[in-house]
Structure 1
Amino acid sequence: MWEPDGWDVRCRIGVLTPHGDVGPESELQAMAPDGVQVHAARVPFGAMAAGGEMDPTIPLAPVEAFVQPPHIDEAAALLAAAPLGAIGIGFTSSSYVSGPDREVELVERLQQRTGGIPVVATCAAAVAGCSALGVQRISLVNPPWFDRELDLLGARYFESQDLTVVQHGPCGLPSNQRSINPSQLFAWVVEHTPDEADAVFIGGNGFRSVGVITALEQDLGRPVLTANQSLLWGLLRPAGSHARPAGYGALFALPSADHP
Structure 2
Amino acid sequence: MWESDGWDVRARVGVLVPHADVGPESELQAMAPEGVRVHAARVPFGAMAMGGQMDPTIPLAPVRAFVEPPAIDEATALLAAAPIAAIGIGFTSSSYVLRPDGEREVEERLAKLTGGIPVVSACSAAIGGFNALGVHRLAVFSPPWFDAQLDELGAEYFESQELDVVTHGSCELPSNQRSINPAELFAWVATHTPPDAEAVFLGGNGFRAVGVITALEEQLRKPIVTANSALLWGLLHAAGTNARPKAYGQLFAV
Q: How does 1:57-206 map to 2 (within 5 A)?
A: 57-206=57-206
Q: Deviations over 1:82-137 (max 9, x none)?
A: 00000000000000000000111000000011111000010000011111001001
Gaps of 5+ in 1: 255-260
Aligned residues: 254
One-letter amino acid matched to 1:106: V
One-letter amino acid matched to 1:214: T
Distance, in Å, in 2 between the alignment partners of 1:191 and 1:237 is 33
Q: How does 1:170-249 map to 2 (within 5 A)?
A: 170-249=170-249
SS at match of 1:30: helix
Partner of 2:50: 50
One-letter amino acid matched to 1:165: V
SS at match of 1:238: helix
Q: Deviations over 1:51-87 (max 9, x none)?
A: 1000000000000000000000000000000000000
One-letter amino acid matched to 2:39: H
SS at match of 2:29: helix
- Range 22-31 or range 2-11, more displaced: 2-11
Q: TM-score, normalised by structure 2?
A: 0.99
Distance, in Å, in 1 between the alignment partners of 2:194 and 2:29 is 31
Q: Deviations over 1:164-208 (max 9, x none)?
A: 111001100000000001111000000000111000000000000
> After the TM superposition, which segments of 4 or more aligned residues of structure 1 sit over 3 Å from their partners?
none
Q: CA deviation at 1:240?
A: 1.9
Identical counterparts, % of pairs: 72
SS at match of 1:37: strand
Gaps of 5+ in 2: none
Q: TM-score, normalised by structure 1?
A: 0.97
Distance, in Å, in 1 between the alignment partners of 2:49 and 2:61 is 15
